[in-house]
Each structure stands twice: as C-alpha cells, then as structure tokens.
Amino acid sequence: MTKIYQKTLPAGKNAGFTLIELLVVVLIIGILAAVALPQYQVAVAKSRFSALIPTTKALADAADVSFLANGSFDGDITKLDVDIPAGCSLGGTLSVATCANGVIFDVFDGGTQNVTGINKQVKLGYVIWLENSAHPGARRCLALSTNKVANQVCKSMGGTQITGETYNYFTGVAGGTPTVYALK
C-alpha cells in the first residue's frame, strides 16, 4: 500500500498547540468579549427603544388631531384614528394598550397630555408631549435610574438629562425612578 500524504516532523516534536498558546488565545477571546458585550447590550436596548418611537408618534399625532377636531381629548385610544399594534390589547382603561412583548403605550389626558411608550424589558420609555400641553411637542427619553445600559441609550439618542419632570407611571411599570432626558 502506498502512502499518499505523510507529514514529516523533526524528531521528538508533537503536532499540536502548547498549553500556553491555548491560554493566550482564550485570554484574547475573553478580552474581546468583555469589550464587545456591553456595546452589544446597548445596541439591543437601543433597537428595542427605537421600536417604541413610531407607534408613540402615531398615537401622539392622532391625539393632537382629535384635540383639534373636537376641542378636547379624553385619553380614549379607541376614539383615535389609529390602530393599536398587533399583539397589543386595551386593559381596564381605554387609555392603556399592553403588548405581549412587555411594551405599554399610555395616552394621558387631563393635566399631563402626553403619550408614553415603555419597554419593560430594557427599562426605557419614550414620551411625546401633545401640542396643547405644557411642553408642546417635547420628546423625552426615560431610563431607569439604576440601569446603566438604559441611561447609555438615552445619551446615545442625543438626550440631555433634565430635572423637574416626574413620571410616576414609569415608576409603577418599570420598577423604579426614571432619569429624564430631553431629546432634540
């Protein structure tokens, strides 16, 4: 029988990696993972936050149109000319739509007059103030104060931290006090 391929090695030398070589490779992979993982977490949270924006904007625009047409708005989502997203349902109050993926949309009436979208998984919220409110057209990013990733997302969206605005609904839903960021 003829040998098709045979690798010749110097005498006494084994083919393979040494323990030191393997440890160096594992160390390099560990360092890369430690650097990449936080950035990955921010990217995922930012993606989930960005998904709140179109629906919150659509609800706010519809609430503004309803106010202009009727002279008032009572917070009832069913009276708006917009459908709630698939997978969401109205709860005990007609101003709150709760979704299966942990997202909540709330159309506030009365004194606050804003529309809030909250993602409970990433502890982030997006607020748009209605045109007839105290802060016409203002947009806010809400991040759970103790969640570093959530705060990084708000900052990466161009948010500037502000004080003086309280969002009690976020506290009840996301489980803590939000840090409020003004978005441009």
SS3 letters for 115-143?
EEEEECCCCEEEEEECCCCCCCCCEEEEE
**Is residue 5 in a domain?**
no
Write the pLDDT tens digit of every residue in 107-143: 886 567 899 999 999 999 999 999 988 889 999 999 9
- Domain with 136 in it: 19-183
Q: Is residue 8 part of a domain?
A: no
Residue 11 lies in a domain: no
Nearest CA-CA partner of 66 in 76, 53, 56, 52: 76
pLDDT of residue 170: 85
Judge whether 3 lies within some domain: no
Q: Return the exposure string of 4-19: e unless at least 16 CB atoms fall within 10 Å of the residue's CB, then b.
A: eeeeeeeeeeeeeeee
Q: For the chain, what is the domain count?
A: 1
Digit-coded pLDDT (tens) for 77-112: 888 888 888 899 987 778 899 998 889 999 886 567
pTM reported for the whole predicted model: 0.80
Dihedral sign of CA atoms 52, 115, 74, 167 in order = positive
Q: Poorest-confidence range of 49-58, 152-161, 162-171?
A: 162-171
- Asked if residue 9 is part of any domain, the answer here is no
Pairing between β-strand 160-162 and β-strand 124-129 as defined by DSSP bridges: unpaired
- Output the pLDDT for position 10: 60
Place of tokens 């949309």: 105
pLDDT at 134: 86
Looking at residue 169, its pLDDT comes to 82
* Domain annotation covers residue 12: no
Is residue 176 assigned to a domain?
Answer: yes
pLDDT in tens, 24-40: 999 999 998 888 888 89
Residue 48 lies in a domain: yes
